[in-house]
Amino acid sequence: MRVGIVGLPYSGKSTLFAAITGAHGTGSDRSGAAQVATIAVPDERIDKLAQLIQPKKITYAHVDFVDVAGVGSEMEREQVLSTLSALRESDGLVHVIRFFDSPSAPPHPRKTLDPVRDVKEMEAELIVADLAIVESRVEKLEKQISKFTATLEKDKKELLLMQRLQKALESGELIHTLSMTSEESFLLRTFQFLSEKPMLKVLNVHEDALHGPETAAMLEKLGANSIAICARAEKDIAELDPSERQEFLDALKIGEPAARRIIRSCYDALGLRSFITAGEPDVRAWTIRVGDNALTAAGKIHSDIARGFIRAEVIAYKDFDECGGLKEAKAQGKQRLEGKEYVVQDGDILNIRFKV
């Protein structure tokens, strides 16, 4: 999974990036180049299984985070478009919104703190970037269709879809709010529209405001898929020796470090889930989408396993945990045999029986 970090200048993107990835960034990177870091998704289920099984190898799920320079309406279009283009390959976006004031940081580019305004501005940037692609596609398709008398049905269909997107974007709607058939979503995949990506809104607040009423009220206003963090405190804590971290997290009443919260929230916002394979060679987490069935899960492991799929042996992580082991769970009848159509649940421990 790949997650792009967007936001206005000086909202705290690079600070959050450093907090999540442990990259000791210098803070603001104004060079315009994107920074990318891959992190293993912390997963205590994997830790527990590994402790018990002592496998040769432990593999966590991975997420790439991409940090780019801030964009805003005062900037040249070309610069905005080229900055945002580094995010096109992301599966989702994290939008960092500034809600802290600090004499030691450069001022907010709009002078005042107004997250709702900032969200609108950022969304407008994404919309403009997508509109540029849609417009040129519409133009191209119209030309193509007028040239040939026997027009391809496919092109006509695409033109209709693109015109629908154009209208929606022009009236300020994000693509991900539109309802699409699976055929339409498939058609759009190659365009990598930014406003089609699921978005997590991260309100970056002062450490004293983390649990305050203003923050709660603002999160309410921003609606679903929004969380509050203090990027700078998180970055400072991430730089500490692991043995010292808990004390500081407790002092700030941060239940869980930003990396975990952000990843978990991204998984939710993106509709992602994990299943686990647990054997002596390897204890491993795999990423799937909500609703994926056992056959799709098998295909993640290997195409041969999907092709030769017979049955999936499934133990829910909770049952494993309650019984205190895989053998114990089996002995207590907690292992189920499921077919190809079984919808895999988060934390399912799978063993696929297959024949090739």
Ligand X SMILES: Nc1nc2c(ncn2[C@@H]2O[C@H](COP(=O)(O)OP(=O)(O)OP(=O)(O)O)[C@@H](O)[C@H]2O)c(=O)[nH]1
Q: Report the interface residues with Mg ion, using CB under 5 A.
A: 13-14, 28-29
| 61, 133, 231, 258: residue in contact with ligand X (rule CB under 6 A) | 231
CB of 203 to ligand X, least distance (A): 10
CA 290 to chain CA centroid, Å, is 14
Minimal CB distance to ligand X: which residue?
Answer: 70
Widest Cα–Cα separation across the chain: 73
Of residues 103 through 122, those in contact with ligand X by CB under 6 A are 105
Choice between 70 and 92, CB closer to ligand X: 70
Q: Which stretch binds ligand X (CB under 6 A): 226-234, 253-261, 311-319, 344-352?
A: 226-234
CB of 174 to ligand X, least distance (A): 21
CA distance 98 to 126: 18
Q: Which stretch binds ligand X (CB under 6 A): 3-11, 47-55, 297-305, 324-332?
A: 3-11
Q: How many CB atoms lie within 10 A of CB 242?
A: 7
Size of the site for ligand X (CB under 6 A): 22
CB of 94 to ligand X, least distance (A): 11
Choice between 65 and 309, CB closer to Mg ion: 65
Choice between 15 and 287, CB closer to ligand X: 15
CB of 266 to ligand X, least distance (A): 18
CB of 18 to ligand X, least distance (A): 8
CB of 158 to ligand X, least distance (A): 36
CA distance 9 to 111: 12
Of residues 190 through 219, those in contact with ligand X by CB under 6 A are 204, 206
Q: Does 232 bind ligand X (CB under 6 A)?
A: yes
| 3, 4, 6, 12: residue in contact with ligand X (rule CB under 6 A) | 12
| 3, 13, 97, 209: residue in contact with ligand X (rule CB under 6 A) | 13
Choice between 222 and 352, CB closer to ligand X: 222
CB of 66 to ligand X, least distance (A): 12
Choice between 23 and 159, CB closer to ligand X: 23
Choice between 53 and 219, CB closer to ligand X: 219
| 4, 10, 21, 237: residue in contact with ligand X (rule CB under 6 A) | 10
Q: How many CB atoms lie within 10 A of CB 77?
A: 11
Of residues 54 through 113, those in contact with ligand X by CB under 6 A are 69-70, 100, 102, 105
Q: Which does 11 bind (CB under 5 to 8 A by kind): Mg ion, ligand X, none?
A: ligand X
Decide if 256 contacts 243 (C-beta within 8 A).
no
Decide if 314 contacts 329 (C-beta within 8 A).
no
Closest CA to 156 of 190, 192, 187: 187
Positions touching ligand X (CB under 6 A) are: 7, 9-15, 27-30, 69-70, 100, 102, 105, 204, 206, 230-232
